[in-house]
Chain A
Amino acid sequence: DTGVSQDPRHKITKRGQNVTFRCDPISEHNRLYWYRQTLGQGPEFLTYFQNEAQLEKSRLLSDRFSAERPKGSFSTLEIQRTEQGDSAMYLCASSRGGTGVENEQYFGPGTRLTVT
C-alpha cells in the first residue's frame, strides 16, 4: 500500500498524559499537512511542512502541540498534557506541492484520540 499511513489508528489516554502520533506520507511527496477534525465539522488546519521545514502553524496549535519532520519523510505530532478538548480525529495528508494537480492532497485514515 503506497498511500498515507498513520499510527496508531486509535488512542485512548488519560488527561494530563502526553501522546505522539506518526504519519508516513506518500514517498515522493514533499509536503505534509496535519489537520484536526471533530464530529460534524470539517478538518481544521494545524500545520504543514515543505520537506523538513515547518512553514506554517495555525493559531489553533497551542504550545502543548509540536510537530516535527526531521528527515523530510515521516512526521510526528506530539500533544503534551492532554486535555479533554483535544479529543478528535487527527488527519495527516501529503502532496507533491506547487499549484495545479501537484497540489492534490492525499489523506491518511486518521488517528482518533480520546482523552478521558
Chain B
Amino acid sequence: SQQGEEDPQALSIQEGENATMNCSYKTSINNLQWYRQNSGRGLVHLILIRSNEREKHSGRLRVTLDTSKKSSSLLITASRAADTASYFCAPNTNAGKSTFGDGTTLTVKP
C-alpha cells in the first residue's frame, strides 16, 4: 500500500519554534501531498511535491522528498498558535486518490 505514515504522532512546541514532521511510504509515487486539519473541520491542502522534485517552499512551509528513502518531511518555521492542527501526508499514484496515515498532531503553545 502507498499509505503515508506520519511521525511523530504528536508534537508540542512553543510559539516561534520550528516544527518538523516526517512521512514514510512504501511504493513508488507520482507525487506526495501534505494537508492540515483543524479539529472537527475538513482538510486543507498545503503543498504538493512531485516525484522528480526534492524540495518545495510555500511561505513558512518547506517540504522535502527523498524517493530513494521513500520519505518526506514538512517543516513549519516560526510556528504560531494558529498552526495547531493535525497534519497528514498523502502519497499519490497515477489514480490520484490520496491514502492518508493517522497524522501528526501539532500543538503550538503561545
Contact = CB atoms under 8 A, between A and B. Distances in A.
B42 A109 contact: yes
Interface size class of B (residues with CB under 8 A): 20 to 34
B45 A104 contact: yes
A103 B42 contact: no
Given A108-B42, A109-B42, A103 B30 contact: yes
Contacts of B45: 104-107
B98 A45 contact: yes
A40 B86 CA distance: 9
A75 interface: no
A43 interface: yes
Nearest to B35: A107
Most buried by A among B30, B41, B43, B44: B43
Interface in A28-46: 31, 33, 35, 40-45
B48 A91 contact: no
A105 to B, nearest CB: 6
Contacts of A99: 30-31, 50, 94, 96
Contact of A104 (B33, B41, B101, B103): B33
Nearest to B6: A42
Interface in B37-92: 41-45, 48, 50, 88, 92
A92 B103 CA distance: 18
Interface of A: 4, 31, 33, 35, 40-45, 48, 55-56, 91, 93, 95, 97-101, 103-110
The 5 closest A-B pairs by CB, nearest first: A42-B100, A107-B42, A107-B43, A109-B42, A42-B102
Given A35-B98, A91-B42, A105-B98, 19 more contacts: A31-B96, A33-B97, A42-B88, A42-B102, A42-B103, A44-B100, A99-B94, A100-B31, A100-B48, A100-B50, A103-B30, A103-B92, A104-B33, A104-B48, A106-B45, A107-B35, A107-B43, A107-B45, A109-B42
